[in-house]
Amino acid sequence: MATLKDKTVFITGASAGIGRACAAAFAREGARLLLCARRMAKLAELQTELQDKYDVDCHLLELDVCVQKDVEKTIENLPPDWQSIDILINNAGLSRGLAKFHEADLTDWEEMIDTNIKGLLYVSRVVVPGMVASNAGHIVNIGSIAGHEVYPGGNVYCATKHAVDAITKGLQIDLVDTPVRVSAVDPGMVETEFSLVRFHGDAEKAKTVYKGLTPLHGEDIAEAVIFCVTRPAHVNIHQLRIMPTAQAAAAVAHRKS
């Protein structure tokens, strides 16, 4: 297993859920953390927690990945000792709404496309050239079962995650003549702030998503990410699909009443 000690890891969307769990897992492994999100207070809280527990070296970025100019400026102006990024975890993402196509809100669509597709592209476009130039690096895209299947009301969210799947495959092809590796980690239901965000803050509705079954936790996904990035240099995990035992497909789950 390759060591992550002193590797610089950039995690987008580290203020909650899977990104937050990834930050903790990489801190435990001795990595240096470059963490971004829009909610700086949440990032600062996480930094304190991880510094107390692991004495981690951490640099925080208040960044909306949807704003291309900000992404470019922020990453290009990183302090010198943070400029060389070894591992990029493209995690920032969201779903908005679960309406039928003909009833959906256009602003929900725009937000999902801007964050899940364009945000991931903006960040990767700035980070990947440095990896190619230094002949090292690993990109992990957090996709979804929704990148392989479509479910009722999932229309545009599923489209964005299918796009992430295509971007991952495109990167794997375009980087094949370099040592830079690209992996996708594609989960089913993970209990995070995801459903709260999908239902615009309706906590009751969000809770019903996980009712009667044991969902995945952010930590389950973080361990899969750690697995991908600690394989020997000649091994590239292309894709890991991870489901709760009680979920067989995007729209097939077994719930105890």
| Least distance between ligand 8X3 and beta carbon 116 (Å) | 9
State residue 251 phi and psi, 5-degree precision. Answer: -110, 20
Please select the residue that binds ligand 8X3; options are 47, 144, 155, 172, rule is CB under 6 A: 144
CA quadruple 32, 237, 112, 69: dihedral sign:
positive
Q: Which of 5, 42, 161, 210 is catalytic?
A: 161
Please select the residue that binds ligand NDP; options are 47, 74, 91, 155, rule is CB under 6 A: 91
157 is catalytic: yes
Q: Which of 175, 96, 162, 195 is CA-nearest to residue 130? A: 175
- Of the candidate spans 23-31, 130-138, 191-199, 200-208, the one that interacts with ligand NDP by CB under 6 A turns out to be 191-199
161 is catalytic: yes
Please select the residue that binds ligand NDP; options are 9, 98, 190, 224, rule is CB under 6 A: 190
154: contact with ligand NDP by CB under 6 A: no
Amino acid at 88: L
Pairs from 43-52 (Cβ < 8 Å, separation ≥ 24)? 43/14, 43/15, 46/14, 46/15, 46/20, 50/23, 50/24
Please select the residue that binds ligand NDP; options are 197, 213, 240, 246, rule is CB under 6 A: 197
Q: Among all chains, which residue has been given the structure tokens 């794997």? A: 172
153: contact with ligand NDP by CB under 6 A: no
Whether 70 and 47 have beta carbons less than 8 Å apart is answered as no
Q: What letter would DSSP give residue 145?
A: G
Residues that bind ligand NDP in the complex, under the rule CB under 6 A: 12-19, 36-39, 42, 63-66, 91-94, 115, 119, 142, 144, 187, 189-190, 192-194, 197
Active site residues per annotation: 157, 161
